[in-house]
């Protein structure tokens, strides 16, 4: 490979483009100091991949770009191109002529390499240089400093020259890369080994956990199969029972309504019969009074008839005297007195009759009031029976804890075992106003049964207790572990003025200070709204970050899910004690109302009794007055009869007497007839009163039977209602458990799951499976997936480890093979150079001998190369003791010896002969001619002995200060140019 052209523009002092063409052999470049002739050396080194600015005599790489001068502006780009003839070369370049270029731009850091104009990597350039033996560390570019370094360097440093000459640079480079790869591979192996060991440590417990998880899943699947079957059966059973009880309750309710209607009919009938009886009694008493009057009149008429009969006998005997007129006058006077008395008695009777009517009206009102009070009393007694029944049901539920889950019930029944650390259920520890119970109950749901404890250790103790006693499952809230939840202040400010905002749920709950953290943990970030529309608006404002519950129990969950609609009226644990207290509080009030009704009833009955007594007294007085009136009337009738008789005696003594007697007899017959009629009516009225009394008594008995039946029915209704509520609770619990635990509806579960075993056997299997699952302890379900992932990682890392181990083995093998090549080539180069070195040394120094040897022949890779030189007439062992010229000759002799043994395609010599005297310069230059057949030389020099013996010569000058130009010239011109340039420089100085 031969360098045929160097082109540069903007590199160092080459402000103007330069182009130097070479034909091979020895080309010289001359010029005074500071003319820029050595910049050709730097340009070639730079384009061949030099990365150190200091090696190019700069501080930073931008310094190789032309910096400007008095006559030329600074440039922003440096470019150098080398053109090679590759016809006879043995390298990877598939072109007979090829170029390599490097371009550097100031400021942006652009630094690009090109081969034949195609951009490439720096590594590609370095590989070409190493393949051709013109790399950075080779003998292709030798300066005066390099010669000094060869003489003064250590054996190890000197060895680098031989490595380049032996062509092992690329092997060392490969070895360096291989060692880097080996180090990375070893590092990767170590990292992978660490990972593998970490994974192995994880796999041991993971496999155990996964095995336990498999058992857990199998048991859980079996449990799921049986338990869902049980839950489906529960839902069917309790659903049917609920429907059956609902129908029975509807029937009971209908029967109760019928009984209420019948009792009401009885009350109405009793009231009507009582009114009829009072009216019949009144009529009876009036008829009885009238009958007594008729009887009295009959007796009087009979007496009168007897007297008239006697008087007729007296008249017939002539015993009536003339005193009849006086007697008439006396009779009239007495008749007037009796008439006045009768009128006075009638007035008294009228007053008493009015009082009787008033009293009987009051008596009727009393009867009606008694009937109404009895109805009220029965209603209150029914209400009291219902409340006591409901209260009894609630108290039984509380005592038996039927509303609680099994686990919660077990813990509370053994509360003394845990003592003070067990605080109670959430429902027991919080108090809520009735109007907010539905909202809070919706939020808490089953959390009302969660058991609050002091710390997590108590919770663990309780869990173990449940496991040991097959007590079911429960949820525990350790006060020491929970933290309060809040609505952010800025969010709260944004909704406080909203019309639908009610409060933060935690603010609607009261607890003791000890449990303040509990309510904030459960409800601190829950917002209560008035209704679902307002809740939706608030949710939009808060971007659905919080749970919002309405007063009716509808909810909007975080994220936007809305739950709502009609809710079954099942018994809630919240306010359970308050409900019991409320019912207990109603009983005294109803008892007081019943007592008040009884008091009023007693008062009205006393009033009725007094009215009956007054009526009896009034009737007695009226009877007395009627008797008195009858007596007066009888007396009046007697006097009238006597008066009539006397008148008759006067007018028609005999005939008239007969007529009067006949009239009396007629009156007697009329009165007897009327008496018979009255007696018949009186008997009928008495029978009517008797029938009414019997009817009232029978209706009272019927009403009492109905009331007794109603009370029993109410009790039965309450029991059935309690049983219905319990069936509904168990039905809802089964549905909720199916939804919460298995995420299934009854409809989907009933299609796929059926209870194939007897219920008792299935429940036993469930208990056994739960016990087996509980014995498994904590199960990490994720361990199955984690195991797969870790085993996959283990396999991948193991595969990578095997691959890296194989790669490491290959790298180590390639390094060993590389080392063999390096040792072979280094051994060969030293052996091959020794003879030429000795020949050149003798030629250059006019005799003597020189030799190369290894510092440590047993370790060629690490050994340095020693130089043993003996000029003519001297016996100096240490090369450092030679003079400067002798050191340069020894170094040059070594370089030429290497070039003879391993010729390079190109060698650049930059003033390497500067330290030699003129005679040795001539020897140096002549030796170049011997070597030029196999090596192209580019010699930078200012020595006449060298310039006179080159094949072509280029001059470097700075016609414009700071800018180098080149031109071809003859030897004489070169001498003159050098002298003139030197003179000008001296004058400037």
Q: Which residues are annotated as a binding site?
A: 32-39
Q: How far is CA 950 from the centre of its chain?
A: 90
Residue 795: count other Cβ atoms within 10 Å of its Cβ. 11
The set of residues, in sequence order, having a beta carbon less than 8 Å from that of 332 and lying 6+ positions away, is: 639, 643
- Give the alpha-carbon dihedral of 899, 901, 904, 907, to 10 degrees: 0
Partners of 562 in the β-ladder = 556
Calpha distance 265→341 (Å, rounded):
51
Q: Is 341 helix (H, G, I), strand (E, B) or coil?
A: helix
Residue 924: count other Cβ atoms within 10 Å of its Cβ. 25
Residue 293: count other Cβ atoms within 10 Å of its Cβ. 19
Closest CA to 546 of 441, 426, 443: 443
Task: Classify residue 31 by its DSSP letter.
Answer: -
Angle at which helices 169-317 and 576-742 cross, to 10°: 140
Percent helix, strand and coil across the chain, each rounded to 5?
A: 65, 10, 20
Which two three-digit tokens encode residue 124?
């590609």
Calpha distance 536→732 (Å, rounded):
28
Calpha distance 25→29 (Å, rounded):
13
Angle at which helices 884-901 and 144-152 cross, to 10°: 100
List, as own/partner pairs, every contact residues 587-590 make where C-beta atoms lie below 8 angstroms and the sequence separation is at least 24, other chains included.
Answer: 587/384, 587/387, 587/388, 587/391, 590/380, 590/383, 590/384, 590/387
Q: Is beta strand 936-940 parallel, antiparallel or unpaired with respect to 26-30? A: parallel
Q: Terminus-to-terminus CA distance in the chain, angstroms? A: 43
Closest CA to 970 of 950, 984, 985: 950
Backbone angles phi, psi at 102, to 5 degrees: -140, 135
Which two three-digit tokens encode residue 457?
């250790």
The set of residues, in sequence order, having a beta carbon less than 8 Å from that of 350 and lying 6+ positions away, is: none
Are 71 and 963 within 8 A, CB to CB?
Answer: yes
Calpha distance 446→425 (Å, rounded):
11
Calpha distance 5→371 (Å, rounded):
140
- Give the alpha-carbon dihedral of 646, 648, 654, 655, to 10 degrees: -160
Q: Which residues line the annotated binding site for ATP? A: 32-39
Write the DSSP assignment of 839-859 as a string of letters: HHHHHHHTS-EEEEEES-TT-
Task: Classify residue 92 by its DSSP letter.
Answer: S
Which two three-digit tokens encode residue 657?
């007497």
Calpha distance 270→695 (Å, rounded):
8
């Amino acid at each position: 490979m031969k360098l045929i052209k160097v082109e540069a523009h903007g590199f160092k002092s080459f402000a103007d483009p330069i182009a130097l063409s070479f034909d091979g052999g020895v080309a010289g470049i001359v010029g005074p100091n500071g003319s820029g002739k050595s910049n050709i050396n730097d340009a070639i080194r730079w384009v061949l991949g030099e990365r150190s600015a200091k090696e190019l005599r700069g501080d930073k790489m931008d310094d190789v770009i032309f910096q400007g001068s008095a006559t030329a502006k600074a440039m922003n780009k440096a470019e150098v191109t080398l053109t090679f003839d590759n016809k006879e070369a043995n390298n990877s370049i598939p072109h007979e002529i090829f170029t390599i270029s490097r371009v550097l731009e100031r400021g942006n850091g652009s630094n690009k390499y090109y081969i034949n104009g195609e951009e490439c990597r720096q590594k590609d350039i370095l590989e070409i240089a190493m393949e051709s033996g013109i790399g950075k560390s080779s003998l292709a570019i030798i300066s005066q400093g390099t010669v000094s370094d060869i003489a003064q360097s250590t054996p190890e440093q000197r060895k680098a020259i031989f490595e380049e000459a032996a062509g092992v640079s690329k092997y060392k480079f490969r070895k360096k890369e291989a060692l880097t790869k080996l180090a990375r591979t070893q590092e990767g192996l170590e990292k992978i080994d660490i990972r593998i060991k970490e994974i192995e440590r994880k796999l041991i417990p993971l496999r155990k956990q996964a095995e336990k998880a498999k058992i857990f899943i199998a048991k859980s699947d079996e449990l799921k199969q049986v338990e869902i079957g049980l839950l489906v059966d529960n839902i069917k059973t309790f659903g049917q029972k609920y429907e059956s009880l609902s129908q029975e309750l509807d029937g009971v309710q209908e029967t109760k309504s019928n009984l209420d209607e019948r009792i009401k009919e009885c009350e109405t009938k009793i009231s009507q019969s009582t009114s009829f009886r009072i009216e019949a009694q009144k009529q009876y008493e009036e008829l009885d009074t009238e009958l007594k009057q008729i009887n009295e009149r009959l007796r009087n008429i009979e007496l009168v008839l007897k007297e008239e009969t006697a008087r007729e006998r007296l008249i017939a005997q002539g015993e009536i005297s003339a005193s009849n007129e006086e007697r008439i006058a006396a009779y009239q006077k007495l008749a007037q007195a009796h008439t006045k008395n009768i009128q006075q008695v009638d007035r008294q009777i009228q007053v008493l009759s009015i009082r009787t009517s008033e009293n009987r009206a009051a008596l009727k009102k009393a009867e009606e009031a008694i009937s109404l009070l009895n109805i009220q009393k029965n209603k209150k007694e029914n209400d009291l029976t219902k409340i006591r029944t409901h209260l009894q049901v609630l108290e039984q539920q509380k005592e038996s804890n039927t509303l609680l889950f099994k686990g919660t019930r077990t813990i509370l029944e053994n509360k003394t075992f845990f003592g003070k650390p067990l605080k109670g259920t959430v429902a027991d520890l919080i108090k809520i106003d009735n109007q907010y119970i539905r909202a809070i109950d919706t939020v808490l749901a089953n959390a009302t049964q969660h058991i609050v404890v002091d710390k997590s250790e108590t919770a663990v103790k309780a869990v173990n207790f449940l496991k040991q006693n097959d007590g079911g499952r429960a949820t525990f809230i350790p006060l020491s572990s929970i933290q309060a939840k809040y609505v952010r202040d800025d969010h709260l400010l944004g909704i406080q003025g909203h019309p639908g905002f009610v409060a933060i749920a935690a603010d609607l709950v009261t607890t003791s200070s000890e449990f303040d953290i509990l309510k904030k943990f459960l409800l601190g970030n829950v917002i209560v709204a008035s209704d679902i529309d307002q809740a939706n608006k608030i949710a939009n404002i808060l971007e659905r970050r919080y749970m919002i519950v309405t007063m009716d129990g509808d909810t909007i969950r975080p994220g936007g899910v809305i739950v709502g609609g009609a809710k079954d009226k099942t018994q809630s644990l919240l306010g359970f004690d308050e409900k019991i207290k409320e019912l207990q509080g109603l009983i005294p009030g109803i008892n007081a109302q019943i007592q008040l009704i009884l008091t009023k009833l007693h008062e009205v009955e006393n009033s009725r009794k007094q009215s009956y007594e007054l009526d009896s007294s009034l009737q007695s007085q009226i009877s007395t007055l009627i008797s008195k009136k009858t007596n007066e009337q009888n007396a009046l009738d007697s006097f009238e009869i006597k008066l009539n008789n006397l008148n008759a005696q006067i007018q028609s003594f005999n005939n008239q007497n007969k007529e009067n007697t006949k009239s009396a007899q007629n009156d007697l017959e009329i009165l007897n007839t009327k008496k018979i009629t009255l007696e018949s009516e009186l008997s009928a009225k008495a029978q009517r009163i008797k029938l009414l009394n019997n009817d009232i008594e029978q209706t009272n008995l019927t009403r009492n039977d109905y009331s007794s039946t109603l009370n029993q029915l109410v009790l039965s209704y309450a029991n059935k209602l309690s049983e219905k509520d319990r069936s509904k609770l168990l039905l809802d619990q089964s549905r909720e458990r199916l939804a919460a635990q298995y995420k299934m509806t009854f409809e989907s579960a009933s299609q796929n799951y059926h209870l194939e075993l007897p219920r008792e056997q299935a429940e036993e299997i469930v208990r056994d499976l739960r016990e087996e699952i509980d014995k498994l302890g904590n199960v990490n379900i994720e361990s199955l997936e984690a195991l797969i992932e870790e085993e996959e990682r283990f396999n991948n890392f193991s595969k990578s480890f095997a691959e890296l181990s194989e790669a490491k083995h290959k790298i180590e093998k390639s390094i060993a093979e590389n080392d063999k090549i390096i040792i072979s080539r280094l051994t060969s180069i030293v052996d091959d150079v020794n003879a030429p070195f000795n020949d050149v040394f003798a030629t250059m120094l006019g005799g003597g001998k020189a030799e190369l040897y290894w510092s440590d022949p047993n370790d060629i890779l690490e050994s340095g190369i020693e130089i043993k030189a003996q000029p003519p007439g001297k016996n100096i062992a240490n090369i450092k003791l030679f003079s400067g010229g002798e050191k340069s000759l020894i170094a040059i002799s070594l370089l030429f010896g290497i070039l003879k043994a391993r010729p390079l395609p190109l060698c650049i010599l930059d003033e390497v002969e500067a330290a030699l005297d003129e005679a040795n310069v001539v020897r140096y230059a002549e030796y170049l001619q011997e070597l030029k057949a196999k090596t192209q030389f580019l010699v930078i020099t200012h020595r006449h002995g060298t310039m006179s013996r080159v094949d072509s010569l280029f001059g470097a000058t700075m016609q414009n200060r700071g800018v180098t130009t080149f031109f071809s010239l003859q030897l004489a011109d070169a001498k003159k140019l050098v002298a003139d340039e030197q003179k000008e420089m001296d004058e400037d100085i």
